[in-house]
């Protein structure tokens, strides 16, 4: 896979998977190492999607660590320090990840593509994740909720997706559930105060009447500027 067509977080995940294998004394790093790296990324997109699905990423990471640590440790004079090889199952997962990126219309292979590649190409990873309630279709559905209509067109898309997950507000859903605040710019941390709102509205109407005569602002409208 061309590293130039991978996002920064994807490159970091592969590097971290390799580091984990080296520290564990493994001569190869494979699908379990990559899964562990994806789950361990601070503020990562994959843990965020799993959280939306009410899946404990720490439990999944523990299961992945157990699988990765089953690999035999290689020591001795014939072992080159710091040198590990990619397993065939990881190579296959990377190929599937590139296919997932293409299917979703993305220009770069991001961490979610790597995760989907692991699920779709590796029976062991599919079983491990399935035991925790994670499926290909389920993850893809939750991913679309986080990503929305955004596509991966740069090496740093996860930062945008993280912001959407943390701060994005679906106004349509809020309106449907009658939770949409009529004062558009009010911080949602401060609950509406009907008494204070009425006072503010009345004062605004009085000032508008005094200053502009009949061209005062229509009662009931609230907006912000700046």
Tell me the average pLDDT of the chain.
77
DSSP the chain: --GGGB-HHHHHHHHHHHHHHHHTT-SEE-HHHHHHHHHTSTT-HHHHHHHHTT--HHHHHHHHHHHHTTSPP--STTSPTT--EE-HHHHHHHHHHHHHHHHTT-SSB-HHHHHHHHHHH-HHHHHHHHHTT--HHHHHHHHHHHHTT----SS-HHHHHHHHHHH---HHHHHHTT---SSTT--TTS---HHHHHHHHHHHHHHHHHHHGGGPPPTT------
Mean pLDDT, rounded, for 65-69: 91
pLDDT exceeding 90 applies to what percent of the chain? Answer: 48
pLDDT bucket at 221, cuts 50 / 70 / 90: very low
The predicted structure's pLDDT at residue 218: 44
For residue 53, is pLDDT > 60? Answer: yes
* Domains of the chain: residue spans and CATH: 3-168 (1.10.1780.10), 174-215 (no CATH)
pLDDT bucket at 187, cuts 50 / 70 / 90: very low
pLDDT bucket at 183, cuts 50 / 70 / 90: very low
What are 177's two structure tokens? 């559930």
For residue 216, is pLDDT > 80? Answer: no
The predicted structure's pLDDT at residue 167: 42
* Interval 29-46: pLDDT, tens: 999 999 999 999 988 999
For residue 190, is pLDDT > 90? Answer: no
Q: 202-221: b or e for each residue (b if 16 or more CB lie within 10 Å)?
A: eeebeeeeeeeeeeeeeeee
Lowest mean pLDDT among 125-134, 187-196, 214-223: 214-223
The predicted structure's pLDDT at residue 157: 80
**Bigger pLDDT: 185 or 13?**
13
pLDDT bucket at 27, cuts 50 / 70 / 90: confident
Residues, the chain: 226
Mean pLDDT, rounded, for 148-165: 73
The predicted structure's pLDDT at residue 81: 55
**Bigger pLDDT: 147 or 179?**
147
């Amino acid at each position: 896979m061309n590293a130039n067509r991978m996002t920064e977080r994807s490159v970091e995940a592969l590097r971290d998977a390799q580091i984990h294998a080296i520290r564990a004394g493994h001569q190869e790093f494979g699908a379990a190492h990559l899964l562990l790296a994806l789950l361990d990324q601070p503020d990562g997109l994959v843990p965020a999607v799993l959280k939306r699905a009410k899946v404990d990423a720490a439990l999944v990471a523990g299961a992945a660590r157990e699988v990765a640590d089953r690999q035999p440790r290689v020591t001795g004079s014939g072992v080159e320090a710091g040198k590990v090889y990619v397993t065939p199952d990881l190579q296959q997962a990377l190929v599937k990840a590139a296919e997932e990126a293409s299917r979703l219309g993305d220009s770069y292979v991001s961490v979610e593509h790597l995760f989907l590649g692991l699920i779709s190409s590796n029976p062991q990873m599919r079983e491990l994740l399935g035991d925790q309630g994670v499926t290909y279709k389920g993850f893809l559905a939750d991913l679309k909720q986080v990503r929305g209509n955004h596509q991966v067109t740069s090496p740093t898309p996860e930062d945008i997706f993280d912001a959407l997950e943390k701060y994005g507000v679906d106004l349509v859903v809020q309106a449907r559930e009658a939770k949409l605040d009529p004062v558009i710019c009010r911080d949602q941390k401060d609950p509406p105060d009907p008494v204070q709102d009425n006072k503010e509205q009345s004062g605004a109407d009085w000032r508008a009447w005094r200053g502009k005569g009949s061209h005062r602002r229509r009662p009931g409208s609230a907006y912000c500027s700046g």
